[in-house]
């Protein structure tokens, strides 16, 4: 039996609109989570809320 050559995987497995949208939405979600953490940290340190979330 001959060994089967492994298929090369590209960085973008499918250049489709759906996969691009999923990647972008994931990036924005991560950015939003980071900004929320920064805001919470600021509010805890300064003891006066910037927003009316409480």
Give Rg (Cα) of the chain: 21
Asked if 25 and 17 touch (Cβ cutoff 8 Å), the reply is: no
pLDDT digits (tens, 9 = 90+) for 17-48: 668 888 889 999 999 999 999 998 887 887 66
Residue 16 lies in a domain: no
| pTM above threshold 0.85 | no
- Rounded Cα–Cα distance for residues 35 and 50 (Å): 13
The domain containing residue 28 runs over which residues?
22-46
Taking residues 6-11, report their average pLDDT.
55
Q: How many domains does the chain have?
A: 1
CA end-to-end span of the chain: 68
Residue 26 lies in a domain: yes
Residue 33 lies in a domain: yes
């Amino acid at each position: 039996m001959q060994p089967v050559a492994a298929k090369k995987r590209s960085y973008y497995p499918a250049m489709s609109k759906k996969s691009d949208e999923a990647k972008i939405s994931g990036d924005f979600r991560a950015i939003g989570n980071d900004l929320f953490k920064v805001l919470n940290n600021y509010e805890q340190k300064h003891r006066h809320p910037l927003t009316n979330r409480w």
